[in-house]
Structure 1
Amino acid sequence: MTTSQFLQDQPLFGGVDDQAIAAIMPLLREVNFAAGEPIVREGEDGDSLFVICSGSVEVLKASAAEDGVFEECIAVLKVGDVFGEMELLDTQSRSATVRALEPVSALALSNGDLFRIYESDLPTFTLIVLNLARELSRRLRSIDLMAVHYMAIEDRR
C-alpha cells in the first residue's frame, strides 16, 4: 500500500497535511494493470482519476486518416502523474485512451469520493482542485508549445 508521504510528494496532494492525507487514504482504491492493458478508453464514461504509483502509461488519441482510424501517442506518464482528471471535473466521456506500457499500479479517486472530501474538509478539497487546475494548466502550456511547433513546420512546407 502507498504511504502518506508518497501521496504528499505527488503534485495532486501537494500541500495536504498529515491529518487530511490520513482521511483521504481510505478513499483511494488500489488498481493494477498488466503491460499493454487499456486502463481507460476514449469515449467511455469515467468517474475516477488515477495517480500512478509504479510503471508508466501512454496516452493515445484517436485520429482519422484516409486508411482508417489510428491512435497517436500524445504523452507518456510516469510515477506521480495523474490521468482521468478531466472526467472528474467536467463529467464528460474520456478524452483519450490510456494504456499501460509496463505493469502499472495506481490509486483511483472517484468523483463521489472527491465530493466526500468536499463535504468533510473544504480547505483540503480546495487545495486538491487547485492542484488539478495547476496540472491542467501545465498540460495546456505544453500543448500550446506543440501547436506552435506544428504550425512552424506547416509554414515551412
Structure 2
Amino acid sequence: MTTIRFLQEQALFGGVDDQAMAAIVPLLSELTFAAGEAIVREGDDGDSLFVICSGSVEVLKATAADDGPFEKRLAVLKVGDVFGEMELIDMQRRSATVRALEPVSALALSNGDLFRIYESDLPTFTLVVLNLARELSRRLRSLDDLAVHYMAMDPAAEPW
C-alpha cells in the first residue's frame, strides 16, 4: 500500500532512517474507509493515530445550538496528514469526529506499537514523538491566529 519513502516524506516520520522505517512498517495497520464513514467519533476511547495515504477527511467538533447539537467542521485533512495523535499523548477520549470525505486509505499506529518502538529503538521513538510535538505546535499556532482574528472582530470579547 505504501512505501518507506512515502512515509519518510510525511511529517510524522521525517528524519527516520530506512532501517528504522523497515522495523516500523510491520507495526502499521492498513485500513480503508468509505466516503461518509466515521473513522473516529468524538468522545470514544482511542488508542491509535492515523496517517492518511489517500483521500481526505473532515474533522468535526460537536457544539450546541438553539435548535439542538450539531457538528462544526474544524479542518479538512489530506494525504500525509495525521489525526488521532492527541489520544496517544494525553490518553483521553477522542476530541473530535473524523469522517471520510471520499474513499480513504490510512495507516494506523497504536499506542502499544508506539511503545514497542520505544522499547526497541529509543532514538527513533524520540524522533517520532518530537515530530508529533511539532505537528501539535503547528496546530496550536494556527488556533492562536484564529483566536486573535475572532477577538479582533469583536473587541468586547473576553479572552479565556
Q: Say yes or no: does 1:155 pair with 2:155.
A: yes
- The count of aligned residue pairs is 157
Distance in structure 2 (CA, Å) of the matches to 1:156 and 1:13:
43
Distance in structure 2 (CA, Å) of the matches to 1:148 and 1:76:
21
Distance in structure 1 (CA, Å) of the matches to 2:138 and 2:122:
24
Alignment match, 2:89: 89
Gaps of 5+ in 1: none
User: How does 1:57-72 map onto structure 2 within 5 Å?
Assistant: 57-72=57-72
Shift of 1:155: 2.4
- SS of match in other structure, 2:30: strand
Distance in structure 1 (CA, Å) of the matches to 2:21 and 2:48:
18
- SS of match in other structure, 1:60: strand
**Can you list the C-alpha shifts for 1:51-70, whole angstroms capped at 9, x where unaligned?**
00000000000011111111
- SS of match in other structure, 2:155: helix
Distance in structure 1 (CA, Å) of the matches to 2:95 and 2:81:
17
Distance in structure 1 (CA, Å) of the matches to 2:102 and 2:156:
38
Alignment match, 2:49: 49
RMSD across aligned positions (CA): 1.1
AA at the equivalent of 1:8:
Q
**Misfit runs of 4+, over 3 Å:** none
Alignment match, 1:38: 38
Percent identity reads: 82
Distance in structure 1 (CA, Å) of the matches to 2:17 and 2:56:
27
